[in-house]
Amino acid sequence: MSEGAAKKEEKPRKFHATRGTRDLLPPETALWNRVEQTAHEVFATFGFGEIRLPVFEPSDLFVRSIGQETDVVQKEMYIFEDARGEIWLARENVRNSIFRPAERSSVEVLKGFLNDFQVRIQAALRSGEVEHDPGQSQYYKYFSDGVEYFNKLVVKDPSVPLQFLDKAQEEIERMGPFLKHAIVGVRIGSFVVLRPEATASVCRAYIEHGMQQLPQPVKLYYMGPMFRRERPQKGRYRQFYQIGAEVLGGSDAPAIDAEVIEMVMAFFDRLELQGVQLEINSIGCRDCRPKYVELLRAALLKVKDKLGPDSQRRIETNPLRVLDSKLESEQGIIATLPHIAVHLCEECAAHYAAVKHQLEIRGVIYRENWRLVRGLDYYMRTTFEITAQGLGSQNAVCGGGRYDGLVELLGGPPTKGIGFAIGEDRLILSLQESGKAPAQQGRDVYIAWMGERAHATAIRAAKDLRKAGFSVELPPVEQKFGKALGQADKLGAKYALILGDNEVSEGLWTLKTLADGSQAKYTEPDLLAHLRKSL
């Protein structure tokens, strides 16, 4: 192939957003802003303050709080080593030349990569950039031994590609206990996770900043992206957005549970979200829940054969999750299982009754759903979920509940806690489906100018109009008036301000109303006053 032909074939790669992520574009982003602005306003009226949290946190924070056996931890966590590109690349080079020897990867090249990585990792350990983990010592030792062994390896021609080198593969295999093992196991940074939710982070921050010293309870809300490596579908993304709130400390008075729920409902009401349905449940406490779980497990074992593989597995790992099942064939069986409400301890039963009473006083309409257990381990007592219209099978827009033990579990003092997370993507989807999305925002004024003098006046006019709060489009290059007016139309402008030589010398500007084509002349101050009145 000629050089020219090869160049032609080499099309630059087209990039796409990573699977499960998406760009949010105007005009949709205007709706996102409105939703978020409404959250700021409504939550503030309930005395909540905003907390902004890191997007990644130590992996243990989530494993410990959400629970090892949950889907979020087992299947959906985005976990990676917190490493600098250089060190990562250096290790990748070694890995690639050992496991996937390319043509250019000779003993010489491999030795170069090995030594380069060794120098970098040693420097990073010395400087503290990579934390020294005693559990890793053995890998570093294997690695050094391996490098030493390899440095001593005598081959006739070190530049022969590895795969053609007799015995090279064998030699590499022989290094098994050393290099291969080490290069797989050697850590170049601590493990961090892109947050799958924010409750654990809020609790971490509560402890870290000694917020138990503040007047209790502390009421915080957050908004931002969360990450779960789920199978993408409508209403389910790998990067999605949540708006959530937490009440930490103070008492576990049922009025707190009810007020938190009242706040979400007030927020949805303000947004005019359609078809909102609130479901509540109590899943008991550390005393009564284990007894119920055992009862449930026993009941499930009796019908094990009739359940699908997921539920069969959950009988052992987390029987409560069987109640979550959406499998048609399991619904009849689940209906016969014991209900938690009748197995709550006295305190939990009283708490649940009081939460319901408090909701009624507040005029919050709810439905009880004894199967609502929620997927995360830290919940206790009150749990709730809110669904909205137009979302198909992924119709939950909000989930929440009480988690009194969580702060303590994360090393803080015993602390009461309750909160919720709203799925913002689904909230937006539901608002769009019911026609609550704002229409595309057109410009207020399009400035059609012609000539250098008019350009200077147009720039000044744009500045003044923008200062007064109008949205203004100022074309960067001169256009014929006909084209300019066409452009103004396409952008949905309400007015065209026409500035040509005549207007500038007369000091009278022409304003065309695009809806009816009428036009009138104004002095500069009159124009501003007129626009203020009519926009």
* Stretch of 291-299, 396-404, 442-450, 451-459 contacting ligand AMP, by CB under 6 A: 396-404
Q: Pick one of 125, 303, 396, 491: the residue that binds ligand AMP (CB under 6 A).
A: 396
* Stretch of 31-39, 340-348, 391-399, 521-529 contacting ligand AMP, by CB under 6 A: 391-399
417 binds ligand AMP (CB under 6 A): no
* Torsion of the alpha carbons at 42, 43, 47 and 52, rounded to the nearest 10: -140
Task: Report the nearest approach of ligand AMP to the CB of residue 195 (Å).
Answer: 11
* Stretch of 36-44, 125-133, 229-237, 464-472 contacting ligand AMP, by CB under 6 A: 229-237
Task: Report the nearest approach of ligand AMP to the CB of residue 375 (Å).
Answer: 6
φ, ψ for residue 49, nearest 5 deg: -115, 150
Q: Pick one of 252, 257, 404, 425: the residue that binds ligand AMP (CB under 6 A).
A: 425
426 binds ligand AMP (CB under 6 A): yes
Return the number of the residue (432 or 534) whose C-beta is nearest ligand AMP: 432
Nearest 5°: the CA angle 255, 364, 30 is: 105
Task: Report the nearest approach of ligand AMP to the CB of residue 237 (Å).
Answer: 4
Q: Whose structure tokens read 């489906």?
A: 433
Task: Report the nearest approach of ligand AMP to the CB of residue 133 (Å).
Answer: 31
Task: Report the nearest approach of ligand AMP to the CB of residue 323 (Å).
Answer: 15
Q: Tell me the helix, strand and coil percentages in the chain, rounded to 5.
A: 50, 15, 35
Return the number of the residue (245 or 493) whose C-beta is nearest ligand AMP: 245
Return the number of the residue (48 or 240) whose C-beta is nearest ligand AMP: 240
The H or E element spanning position 226 is strand 218-227
399 binds ligand AMP (CB under 6 A): yes
405 binds ligand AMP (CB under 6 A): no
Return the number of the residue (397 or 447) whose C-beta is nearest ligand AMP: 397
Q: Pick one of 43, 240, 268, 379: the residue that binds ligand AMP (CB under 6 A).
A: 240
Determine the Cα–Cα distance for residues 438 and 141; give it in Å rounded to an integer. Answer: 62
229 binds ligand AMP (CB under 6 A): no
421 binds ligand AMP (CB under 6 A): yes
Q: Whose structure tokens read 């829940």?
A: 289
Task: Report the nearest approach of ligand AMP to the CB of residue 433 (Å).
Answer: 14
Determine the Cα–Cα distance for residues 133 and 305; give it in Å rounded to an integer. Answer: 47
Determine the Cα–Cα distance for residues 18 and 296; give it in Å rounded to an integer. Answer: 41
φ, ψ for residue 110, nearest 5 deg: -60, -45
230 binds ligand AMP (CB under 6 A): yes
C-alpha Rg value of the chain to the nearest Å: 32
379 binds ligand AMP (CB under 6 A): no
Q: Residue 144 corresponds to which tokens in the numbers above?
A: 């050094």
Q: Pick one of 242, 281, 382, 510: the residue that binds ligand AMP (CB under 6 A).
A: 242
φ, ψ for residue 153, nearest 5 deg: -60, 125
Strand partners, 21: none
One-letter amino acid identity for 169? Q
Q: Pick one of 34, 84, 181, 236: the residue that binds ligand AMP (CB under 6 A).
A: 236
Strand partners, 226: 240
Determine the Cα–Cα distance for residues 45 and 42; give it in Å rounded to an integer. Answer: 5
Contact 384, 400 (CB under 8 A): yes
* Stretch of 78-86, 116-124, 158-166, 392-400 contacting ligand AMP, by CB under 6 A: 392-400
* Stretch of 261-269, 422-430, 457-465, 491-499 contacting ligand AMP, by CB under 6 A: 422-430
Report the residue number whose CB is nearest to ligand AMP: 423
For residue 260, which of 383, 426, 388, 141 has the smallest C-alpha distance?
Answer: 383
512 binds ligand AMP (CB under 6 A): no
Residues 358-377 that bind ligand AMP (CB under 6 A): 375
Contact 241, 223 (CB under 8 A): yes
423 binds ligand AMP (CB under 6 A): yes
CA separation (Å) from 358 to 365, 373, 450? 11, 21, 67
The single-letter DSSP state of residue 161 is B
Task: Report the nearest approach of ligand AMP to the CB of residue 327 (Å).
Answer: 19
284 binds ligand AMP (CB under 6 A): no
Q: Residue 231 corresponds to which tokens in the numbers above?
A: 């199978």
Q: Where are the alpha helices (DSSP H) in 239-376?
A: 254-271, 288-302, 309-317, 331-335, 346-361
One-letter amino acid identity for 417? G
Return the number of the residue (188 or 198) whose C-beta is nearest ligand AMP: 198
Return the number of the residue (241 or 495) whose C-beta is nearest ligand AMP: 241
Within 8 A by CB and 6+ apart from 173, the residues are: 180
Q: Residue 91 corresponds to which tokens in the numbers above?
A: 């290790």
CA separation (Å) from 78 to 140, 406, 483, 486? 26, 22, 51, 49
Task: Report the nearest approach of ligand AMP to the CB of residue 210 (Å).
Answer: 27
* Torsion of the alpha carbons at 59, 60, 61 and 67, rounded to the nearest 10: 110
458 binds ligand AMP (CB under 6 A): no
Task: Report the nearest approach of ligand AMP to the CB of residue 36 (Å).
Answer: 15
Return the number of the residue (140 or 268) whose C-beta is nearest ligand AMP: 268
237 binds ligand AMP (CB under 6 A): yes
Q: Pick one of 63, 179, 278, 397: the residue that binds ligand AMP (CB under 6 A).
A: 397
Q: Which spans of this chain sit near ligand AMP (rule: CB under 6 A)?
A: 197, 228, 230, 235-237, 240, 242, 375, 396-399, 421, 423, 425-426
